[in-house]
Amino acid sequence: MKGKQKLFVPVLFLIYLALLVWIILFKLQFNINDLDTVRSINLIPFYYDKEIGTAFYLKEVLENLLIFVPMGIYLQMLLPKCRFHGKLIIIAVTSLLLEVAQYVLAIGRSDITDLITNFMGGLLGLALYGMMARLLKNRETADKLFFILAVIVSVVVVGFLALILFLN
């Protein structure tokens, strides 16, 4: 990475991590009192209570997968010399910490399915970056492309959140 990218990618990553915590732990709530106080653990992968319906869980699985894709991309950009399995460990530990925090704080359901889908999302992000770097035949160009995408997405998301906060 060069110049501004080297400075701003860690900032964008921290914004992403803050959003990740807000989404996973605080369920997009602005008031902590609005959170459900739930403390449960599901250790059976892809097991769902039949009362809610399969469509809801498919949506949740896809959301968990997608929310961790940027983690893999950011790790590729920030830790180019770190081995692949090291990045996988960071993704797994991050997901595990978030699931444990949900249980400890009694603000969500800790679920093995979430761990699996979060990990797969991070893996997908690592792979997506790797494929793009190979396609572009240049890691620096891939960094630039993902940096531009990260800036655009961050500005849109933060702007949207600022609008929501302003309207509340």
Query: Which tens digit of pLDDT belongs to each residue from 128-158?
Result: 999 999 999 989 999 999 999 999 999 998 8
- Average pLDDT score over residue span 98-124: 92
Nearest to 112 by CA among 166, 22, 29, 48: 48
Token pair recorded at residue 67: 């929310």
53: confidence class by pLDDT, cuts 50, 70, 90: low
Cα–Cα distance list, 88 to 14, 52, 131, 163 (Å)? 18, 32, 17, 35
Distances (CA, A) of 77 to 10, 53, 61, 89: 9, 38, 26, 16
Domains of the chain: which residue ranges? 3-167
Kindly report the number of other CB atoms within 10 A of residue 50's CB atom.
Answer: 6
What the block records as the tokens of 142 is 């891939």
Question: What is the value of pTM for the model shown?
Answer: 0.88
Instruction: Give the C-alpha separation, 64 to 62, whole Å.
Output: 5
The answer to whether the CB of 72 falls within 8 A of the CB of 20 is no
How do residues 58-94 score in pLDDT, each as one tens digit? Answer: 888 899 999 999 999 999 999 999 999 999 999 999 9
pLDDT at 1: 65
Contact 149, 163 (CB under 8 A): no
Tokens for 146? 């993902």
